[in-house]
A = this chain, B = another copy of it.
Amino acid sequence: MSEQRTTQSSAIIGALRQQLNSQTLAAGNKLPAERELADLFDTTRITVKEALHHLEAEGLIYREERRGWFVSRPRLVYNPVSRSHFHALVAAQQRVATTRVLSCETVLAPAELVSDMALAPLSRLTRICRLRSIDRRPVLYTEHYLIPEYFPAIGEQDLSQSLTRLYEHQYGLRYGRSRFDICPTAARGEAARALSLAEGSPVLAVTRINYDQQGRIIDCDREIWRHDAVRIRIDSQEPAFSG
């Protein structure tokens, strides 16, 4: 029944958790350096890291590469099904959103998308990469893959706005049904760098395949969320077998 063996690292976790709960360490604050914490708790950096990784996994703190550890802010409540615009959603939760366009180019369709989007082999897609921040902290890296035929000259548009809105106003395309995949995994490559995450940090990947109102696939988007920055909330009105 031992609720928790008191290891050194769990003692550190407990102490920090208390400081976090009592707001002594408030959202956005920087934690003391790992070496400083090691001195404070009279142990080594490895043990301190162990404790920090634990709190990171819980989402209470986060890292920025070589900058230090920080106290997480409340998670954004996000409903991928409702398609609310990112900036509006963030504003509604009293936070400040920014979007930075990283790139927009034509690329060979990645192998997994060829099958997911039912493309001809060696198809080309327009890829738009963006980085979105809340309160100046990067929390979401997105890649949109568009069928080029439907979106001529999209590179000349303002891509920092809602793409959903752009699709509709500029190209007359509205979403019909979509398929979402939500998958906990690890940050790698471009996404890790953009989010200033260490390779292998836990993230939440949301992949969406979008159809228009005629049932044609029009694009696919991959969202990589910092795992501690988001909570997905979905309201279902009627269960599948109620009728």
Contact = CB atoms under 8 A, between A and B. Distances in A.
Nearest to A232: B182
A87 interface: no
Contacts of A57: 185-186, 200-202
B75 A183 contact: yes
Interface string A181-200: 11111101100000000011
Nearest to A80: B234
A59 B240 contact: no
A209 to B, nearest CB: 10
B179 A233 contact: yes
A10 interface: yes
B239 A199 contact: no
A41 interface: no
- Interface centre among A84, A186, A201, by most chain B C-beta atoms within 10 angstroms, is A186
Given A4-B199, A182-B232, A189-B3, A177 B59 contact: no
Interface in A194-243: 199-202, 204, 213, 227-228, 231-242
A137 interface: no
A54 B176 contact: no
B200 A58 contact: yes
Given A3-B189, A181-B231, 20 more contacts: A4-B189, A10-B199, A54-B199, A57-B200, A58-B200, A59-B183, A81-B234, A81-B240, A83-B240, A83-B241, A175-B239, A179-B233, A179-B235, A180-B234, A180-B235, A180-B236, A182-B234, A184-B202, A184-B204, A213-B242
Interface of A: 3-4, 10, 46, 53-54, 57-59, 75, 80-84, 174-186, 188-189, 199-202, 204, 213, 227-228, 231-242
22 contacts: A4-B199, A57-B185, A57-B202, A58-B186, A59-B185, A59-B186, A82-B240, A83-B240, A83-B241, A84-B240, A175-B239, A177-B235, A177-B237, A178-B239, A180-B232, A180-B235, A181-B233, A182-B232, A182-B233, A183-B232, A184-B202, A202-B202
